[in-house]
A and B are shown apart, each in its own frame.
Chain A
Amino acid sequence: MAAAAAAGSGTPREEEAPGGEAAASQAQAPTSAPGGVRLSRLPLARVKALVKADPDVTLAGQEAIFILARAAELFVETIAKDAYCCAQQGKRKTLQRRDLDNAIEAVDEFAFLEGLFQR
Chain B
Amino acid sequence: MAERPEDLNLPNAVITRIIKEALPDGVNISKEARSAISRAASVFVLYATSCANNFAMKGKRKTLNASDVLSAMEEMEFQRFITPLKEALEAYRREQKGKKEASEQKKKDKDKKDSEEQDKSREEEEEDEERLDEDDQNEEEEIDN
Count residues of chain B with CB under 8 A from any CB of chain A. 66
Count residues of chain A with CB under 8 A from any CB of chain B. 68
Residues of A within 8 A of B73 (CB): 71
Determine the main DSSP class of B at the interface with A. Answer: helix
**Chain A residue with minimal CB distance to B87?**
A10
Q: Are B14 and A50 in contact (CB under 8 A)?
A: no
Residues of A at the B interface (CB closer than 8 Å) are 8, 10-13, 20, 23-28, 31, 33-34, 37, 39-43, 46-47, 49-51, 53-54, 56-61, 63-64, 66-68, 70-81, 83-84, 87, 93-97, 99-100, 108-110, 112-113, 116-117
Residues of B at the A interface (CB closer than 8 Å) are 5-6, 8, 10-15, 17-19, 21-24, 26-30, 32-33, 36-37, 39-50, 52-53, 57, 62-66, 68-70, 73, 76-78, 80-81, 83-85, 87-89, 91-95, 98
Q: Contacts A10-B87, A60-B64, A64-B64 known; list 11 others, CB within 8 Å.
A: A31-B95, A39-B91, A46-B10, A50-B5, A64-B65, A70-B88, A71-B48, A71-B78, A74-B85, A95-B29, A100-B36
